Each structure stands twice: as structure tokens, then as C-alpha cells.
Amino acid sequence: MELKFVKIFSGLLVLNLVLSPVLGNLYKRESEHAARDPREIGQPVGEVDHQIGNLRGQTGEGYSLKVLIGTPPQELNVLIDTGSSNFAVACSQNDNIDTYFRKDKSSTYVEVGTAVNVPYTVGSWSGTLGRDNVTIATMPGSMVEANIACINEAENFYINGSNWQGILGLAYTDIARPDSSIEPYFDSLVKDGKFPNFFGVQLCGLGYISPNPDKMTGGSIVFGSLAHSLYHSELYATPLYKEWFYEVILVDVEYNFEKTIVDTGTTNLRLPRRVFTKLVHMMKQQITNSEWLHEGFWTGIENLCWREGQAPYGDFPDVSVVLPINNTAAFRIMVTPQQYLRWVGDDNDDKPENDCFKLAISGMETGNFMDCAYKKPKNHDRTLTIVGYVMAGICGICVLPLIFLIAQWQCRRLRCGRKLLRQNSDSNDLMNTS
């Protein structure tokens, strides 16, 4: 079993890769490297250079990677998502996208035909499985034949104007649809010998591109290499709690709670309701004159707007997040207001001269994780149900002899009772006769 690490560096929140202005890396690693310092990992320098800066996006709409699919290659952009495992692209027209994969135009496309449906926290898609050649556009030597889900129907999945037409799931096979036999794209790359079994993600938000009149977000996803040029301070690692999503443990956000999920495909840092309520209470205490922050801002319903370039970041506190290194050590990282105040985009500003923001931290009713966008099939629930039925059957078998004995006892008791009644009746008759 391999060990996967989440890398934290540059003093920013990397655990929540979904926050736009975040700087961080997420890596898979082979088990034989588990005891090694991550900085010892070798790298093919040329490959890393080609991969730096290969992500683009817009605030709140995710980060996309350019890929080439089929023969001749068709160019599409796919959302990178560590919260799911399927590689899926649009194969039919949709009002929210401007292009799609035409499988009938690819001479190497192989139709598998298996139906697949993936629901998310918001939205879903369905289609059929196939296989074809897939290449990362910035890395010509990365071509591999991979599983592709052709999306034929989608509901609230594509984002109008986001410029991506599919999704690249980078999580474990456990959450692949329709079942874990579907090999994820990254696993195909590793199996084919294209890369060692680890990758890194750096999401930099609006500050990555300069000048940036269109306010695009940017970053990098680096396969098989540790990009030393992307960080300048000490590199930390926290182990994964469970290998399905990238599930790690947060040991403190002012006070303890349990597990969380690192997901590049979502927008907010989501906390259990009790943790979120406590955090908001403490933030209000630290903000001078917090009464001007209406309740709708804290619940994520309403925006806060200021004159362009005049957002009062200094009035908001930093939020401290702590992750374990091992059983005896941990490290603390800070989430700054520039990270948790998310710009909502020009289309959502109340006035042309204003910038408006939402709180990119929210509460959730169940679970202890960061906005898990993908709904995992409840295999564990099904397993527990099966175990329950088996145990009930065993208990039934054990109880049967006892029921049989009780039934025998009842029968004997009834027979004896009837016999006694007959004896009493005979005695009464004799007495009456006398």
C-alpha cells in the first residue's frame, strides 16, 4: 500500500487547495519513499519546466489543465479535481460550453459502453465509458491510453464561461465510478511508466498572472517531480488518514475536530457546524466594530463590497490551522484574509467601481471535511448492512434450538393440563354418580 502526503510550504494554507489564493502541493508517493525527506526526490528538470504555469481558472470556478484527446488530437480543458477519480469530458453539445470531444472523429477511440453516473454536492453528469489516447498539452511525451467517461448529459455541472469542458479526477480508485475497477488517469500514467507515483499542485489565485486585466487565476500541476522552484521555505508533510479521497487530519482550528479532505475541485473551506460557529464567534470578537458585518456575510448569502482596491484586509484576523507531522509533532499555518475573503468577480459586483467578496469559510451539518464535492458510493454502509444480515442470520440459527425447546415445553404443559382437566372431570363424574 502506498503512502500519500500533503505538502505544506510558504506559510500558506495548502491543505485547502480549493481556496483561490492558496500556495501548496499535494503529492502521491510510493511506500518505499515513506521515510525519506521529500526534498530528496529527484526530478527531470526539463519536464518540470514544461509543467510550471500550466493551470488557469477564474475565481470560484476551479483550475483547468489543457489536454489532447484522440487521433488526431482534440484540445480540451479539464478541471483538476482531487475529490473524484474519473476522467470525463463532454461528448455532446451543452449551452455552457463552446466545444466538446467528438469521439467519432478519433480513429483511436474505443467504445466500452458501460454506463457511468457521478453526482457531486452540486450538479451531476452521466455518460458511457470508452478509451482513447490522452496527452497533457505541455508534455508531448505524456501520451497514454486511458479510461474516458463521455459525458452525454449534465445537470449544473459545467460553469458558463469557465472555459473547461471536463474533469480530471486525481483521487484513488476507491471512489471511481461505476466501481473501483476503473483505473484513474494518473494511475494509467504511472502504470505506463510515464511518471513516478506522485504529483504536486500549486494554486496561486489572482496573484499568479501579472498584469492580469481579466483577473484570471493561475497555478501548476507537476506530475512525477518535486518542483523546487515553486517554494522557498521549509517543506512539511502530513500523512493521509485514509486512501480514497486525500483525507488528512486537522488537529486544531482554535479547538480540536477530526478529519478533512483536500479537494482542488471545490471553492470553500467547509467546517463542521460547531467548529464554524465557534470560529465565527472568535473572528467577530477580534474585528473592531464588527456590527457592520451583517449576518448574511457570515452565512455566505450576502457579499461585502468596497471601492476597488480598498478591501480592509487588515481589519480581519488570520485563522490558524494545525496539521500533524507524526504522533508527536505538528505544524501551524495561517489562513490570511486575502485567502478567505473570495472575490466574486466583476459580474457579481454591486457597482462597476466596487469589488465584492464572499466569506470562503462555511459550515456544514454533517462530516468533518473540507467541501467534499464528490458523493462517494456508500460501500461501507452496504458492507455494514451485509454484516448485519449475516449476524442476524447467525443469531437466528442460535435461537432456533431455544425456540424449539420452549415449544416442546409448552406442548407438554398443554398436554399435561388437558390430562389434569380430564382427571378432574372424571373425579367430578364419580362424585356426582355417588
C-alpha angle 346/349/350, rounded to 5°?
Answer: 150
- For residue 248, how far is the Cα from the chain centroid? 11
Q: Is 19 helix (H, G, I), strand (E, B) or coil?
A: coil
Which secondary structure element, helix H or strand E, spans residue 219, and what is its range? strand 216-223
Among residues 100, 85, 219, 82, the alpha carbon closest in space to that of 158 is found at 100
Known catalytic membership, residue 263: yes
Among residues 124, 171, 175, 83, the alpha carbon closest in space to that of 378 is found at 175
| Catalytic residue of the set 81, 132, 187, 355 | 81
Among residues 6, 1, 36, 38, the alpha carbon closest in space to that of 24 is found at 6
Residues 6+ positions from 417 with CB-CB distance below 8 Å: none
Among residues 45, 86, 66, 53, the alpha carbon closest in space to that of 175 is found at 86
SS3 string of 384-407?
HHHHHHHHHHHHHHHHHHHHHHHH
d(CA 300, CA 407): 64
> Are the CB atoms for 126 and 152 separated by under 8 Å?
yes
Transcribe 286-337 into DSSP letters: HSTTGGGS-HHHHTTSS-EEEETT---GGGSPPEEEEEESSSS-EEEEEE-H
> Are the CB atoms for 140 and 133 separated by under 8 Å?
no
Which secondary structure element, helix H or strand E, spans residue 30, and what is its range? none
SS3 string of 331-387?
EEEEECHHHHEEECCHHHCCCCCEEEEEECEEEECCCCCCCCCECCCCHHHHHHHHH
Q: Which cell numbers hold the place of 15?
A: 491543505
* Strand partners for 134: 69, 144
Its sign, for the CA torsion 91, 135, 203, 264, is positive
Among residues 68, 97, 70, the alpha carbon closest in space to that of 168 is found at 68
Known catalytic membership, residue 346: no
| Catalytic residue of the set 132, 187, 263, 371 | 263
d(CA 406, CA 200): 67
**Catalytic residue positions?**
81, 263
